[in-house]
Amino acid sequence: MIEPASLELVVLIGLQGVGKTTFRRFHFDPTHVVVSKDLMPNNRRPECRQTALVTEALRAGRPVVVDNTNPRSADRAALMTIARSCGAKFIGYYFPCTTQFALARNSSRTGKARVPDVGIFATARALQPPILAEGFDELYRVRVEGLDTPVVERIIEDQDAE
């Protein structure tokens, strides 16, 4: 389990169905406030609600993990701004994978947990792999494709992110 060393905002990045939530449950649920738009199905303005929940938790001195796809640098920039305004470290966990892998994992889901394939394709088109230059204090790559256990690697330089 990953222990928070200080106040931090952790952002998970990647396609639907690749294991972000499973990773989050094991590594962050015991220590972080979980914010996910999936937990706000009836909210007409989930972005505003997410901002409020993240800000409220950080101002209360509690570390936060945001479990969404966060595909664009602009999505992550808004979260980085919140982290900086609250004096929190900004940490990213990127889950690179092929669209085929995400579709295959998603096909085993049932009910509301299953994402329409079009959603995965849309996220894949929008996905901009994160780089340190976006303002991350720490950035990690989490490899899950073809592995029984995820492999977490710290990205030291932006060329490592590829």
Q: What is the mean pLDDT of residues 102-106?
A: 89
In tens, the pLDDT along 4-54 reads: 458 999 999 999 989 899 999 999 999 999 998 766 566 677 678 889 999
Query: Does the structure show a pLDDT above 70 at 99?
Result: yes
Dist CA 19 CA 95 (whole Å):
8
pLDDT in the model for residue 1: 46
Residues in the chain, total:
162
136 three-class SS? coil
Residue 3 domain flag = no
Task: Judge whether 1 lies within some domain.
Answer: no
Q: Of all residues in the chain, what percent carry a pLDDT higher than 70?
A: 89
pLDDT of residue 3 exceeding 60: no
Residue 162's CB is within 10 A of a number of other CB atoms, namely 9
Averaged pLDDT of the chain: 88
Task: Give 22's contacts (C-beta < 8 A, 6+ positions apart).
Answer: none
Q: Does 2 fall in a domain?
A: no
pLDDT band for 142, please (50, 70, 90 cuts).
very high
In a domain, 47, yes or no: yes
Distance CA 17, CA 120 (A): 8
What phi and psi, each to the nearest 5 degrees, are found at residue 147? -120, 150
Among 56, 53, 3, 52, residue whose Cα is nearest residue 32: 3
**pLDDT of 85:** 96
Report the percentage of the chain scoring pLDDT > 90. 67
Residue 74: is it exposed, middle or buried by C-beta count within 10 angstroms (0-12/13-18/19+)?
Answer: exposed
In a domain? residue 143: yes
Place of tokens 């796809």: 69
Mean per-residue pLDDT, 83-108: 94
Chain segment 108-133, per-residue pLDDT in tens: 888 877 888 898 999 999 999 999 99
Q: What is the pTM of this model?
A: 0.88
Task: Provide the residue range defining the domain that includes 69.
Answer: 8-161
Domain count of the fold of the chain: 1
Q: What is the DSSP string of 13-70?
A: EE-TTSSHHHHHHHHTTTTSEEE-GGG-TT-S-HHHHHHHHHHHHHHTT--EEEES--
Residues 81-91 have a mean pLDDT of 96
Domain CATH number, residue 77 = 3.40.50.300
